[in-house]
Amino acid sequence: MASATLSSIDLTILAVYLIGTVVWGAWPRKSSHSAEGYLLGGRNLAWPVLLLSIVATETSTVTFLSLPGQAFVEGGSLFFLQVALGYMLGRLLVIAWLLPEYFGGQAFTAYEVLESRFGSGVRRAASLLFLLCRTLADGLRLFLTGLALQQALGWDLPTCVVAITAATALYATLGGVSSVVWNDAFQLLIYTLGALVAAWLLVRAVPGGLGAIFEFGAETGRLRLIDPRLGLTGGGITLWSGLIGGAFLSLATHGVDHLMVQRYLCARSKRSAAVALGLSGPVVAVQFLLFLLIGVGLAAFYANTPEGAGLGKDQAFAAFLAHHTPTGVRGLLFAAVIAAAISTLSSSLNASAGVAVNDLFKAIRPDSSEASTGGSVRLAKLATVAFALLQAGVALGAYARGLEQSVIYLVLGIAGFTTGVLVGLFALGMVCGRCRQATAMIALLTGVVAGATVFGWNENSDPAGKINGMWNALIACSTTFLAGWLVHQIQGNEDSETIGEETA
């Protein structure tokens, strides 16, 4: 796809947006002077801003540019909306099952709960797993974002990666989680406005307007909503893979991934966190619908045109933004693309810093001077910068090695599998109560091996025989839980004193 030619007006809009984001994010906030304030916003953030932050965090640039492709491509549909049903169900499970665990004490991270069930070793193992997969996955997402911006703006990829990372790391480091959450809310408003403007331009560009788009969508089957198949194998999303698989995926990503759990711990109360999380499901569903309908509009716009024939499903929206939007508006729309990237990256950096400081450093060296209030804030800031450099390094490394996008999506899938493993550990702790640390480690390793086995199977199977990726979280969760439960039954219950000895 040819790159966009940005006018001086467009570039000015982008520059003002980036500078404004950094200044607003880095503006001093009273709550950021203590460890609890820097990493949890003083546990005093209101649910509306947390709601916007949750939605912004789970929407990346890849989602922004690729989701319309689900309806744009030949044979496309609105089937992706079936996932939204599972996402809403999964959120309800998190509210009923996990939020009480997190608000039972003054937890700083999601993984402190595991220490009370299994011991500090399991807490550290889960934290390391989170940090490894978060750094790898978000570094690769940063690379994919760089590719999208490279195609759209014509900048070289390292410049795109460095610019996004530097701007995000600056305000995430200086302002802490309060800056991240408030900026998330702002970024969500920006890219939602951008999507609405793009949809309006599409309606105006298609002869016959909105009616013609819906007529085209109905004639080509792009308005289909429900696929009743079970969908255990093969690609695509069906009613049951979206409902059941999506529920477990949401339970994993929103229940045990500290990227999201950190948002709940910033809330004023459990009820406030529950309201923010519960309402985020319908908001995400509406967002999905908007992007999918944009995809239908793109298909109608590019129908029977030479330009449309050469576009892949992940390129259509970016091509429209680059070549069929007016000067000035184009700058706003690409600011929206960058907003989607920044909201995810900033959340990842701050969440990773919180886990590194509280679950690793302070757990290992609780008497260190750096474990004090002021020292913890300094450590968290250093950790934020370190993870920014690591994620940028992953992105630039992927660029240097010339990785194919298909390989990257495979790695992202493997990283995503690990959240299902962590759900299995939480379930094991809640069902079995306090049990041996070794039992939890066996369960964790079993879940990881199960994930590797599934991906190995899929790599060597024809498309029809591949296990549908929507079931990954359920497979990881169930194998982890069952392995731990069986070992626990064989070994018997372990009393508190023995667990304490293992932990030591």
pLDDT at 263: 95
The dihedral region occupied by 90, where left means phi > 0, alpha psi between -120 and 50, and beta the remainder, is alpha
**C-alpha 81: how far from chain center:** 18
- Residue 412: pLDDT above 80? no
Q: What is the C-alpha to C-alpha distance for residues 180 and 377, in angstroms, rounded to an integer?
A: 15
- Residue 370: pLDDT above 60? no
Q: What is the C-alpha to C-alpha distance for residues 253 and 237, in angstroms, rounded to an integer?
A: 18
Tokens matching residue 32 = 């950021």
Q: What is the C-alpha to C-alpha distance for residues 119 and 504, in angstroms, rounded to an integer?
A: 9
Q: What is the C-alpha to C-alpha distance for residues 173 and 462, in angstroms, rounded to an integer?
A: 46
pLDDT band at 4 (very low <50, low <70, confident <90, very high): low
pLDDT at 310: 76
- pLDDT tens, residue by residue, 449-486: 998 898 888 878 888 888 888 899 999 999 999 999 99
Q: Where are the domains of the chain?
A: 8-503
Please give, one letter per residue, the 3-state secondary structure of 399-415: HHCCCCHHHHHHHHHHH
pLDDT band at 32 (very low <50, low <70, confident <90, very high): low
- pLDDT tens, residue by residue, 39-60: 888 899 999 999 999 999 988 8
Return the residue matching tokens 């459990």: 270
- Residue 75: pLDDT above 80? yes
Out of 248-252, 272-276, 370-374, give the one with best mean pLDDT.
272-276
Q: What is the C-alpha to C-alpha distance for residues 277 and 265, in angstroms, rounded to an integer?
A: 12
Average pLDDT over residues 133-138: 89
- Residue 500: pLDDT above 80? no
Average pLDDT over residues 430-448: 89
Return the residue matching tokens 């289909």: 224
Contacts 24+ apart (CB under 8 A), 202-207: 202/294, 202/297, 202/298, 202/301, 202/320, 203/297, 205/301, 205/324, 206/297, 206/300, 206/301
Average pLDDT over residues 153-176: 87
pLDDT band at 5 (very low <50, low <70, confident <90, very high): low
pLDDT at 313: 80
Average pLDDT over residues 284-308: 92
Torsion of CA 262, 263, 267, 270, to 10 degrees: -80
Q: Which CATH superfamily hosts domain 8-503?
A: Sodium/glucose cotransporter (1.20.1730.10)
pLDDT at 210: 96
pLDDT at 390: 96
pLDDT band at 234 (very low <50, low <70, confident <90, very high): confident
pLDDT at 152: 63
pLDDT at 305: 82
Residue 239's φ and ψ, nearest 5 degrees, are -60, -45
- pLDDT tens, residue by residue, 356-368: 999 888 766 665 5
Q: What is the C-alpha to C-alpha distance for residues 82 and 246, in angstroms, rounded to an integer?
A: 8
- Residue 495: pLDDT above 50? no
- Residue 371: pLDDT above 70? no
Q: Bigger pLDDT: 415 or 165?
A: 165
Radius of gyration, alpha carbons of the chain: 23
Q: Bigger pLDDT: 396 or 21?
A: 396
Of the listed ranges 186-190, 297-301, 498-502, the one predicted with least confidence: 498-502
- Residue 431: pLDDT above 70? yes
> Could you tell me what percent of the chain has a pLDDT over 70?
89
Q: Bigger pLDDT: 57 or 153?
A: 57
Beta-bridged to residue 467, according to DSSP, are 233
- pLDDT tens, residue by residue, 106-120: 788 999 888 888 988
Maximum distance among all alpha carbons in the chain?
Answer: 75
The verdict on pTM exceeding 0.85 is yes
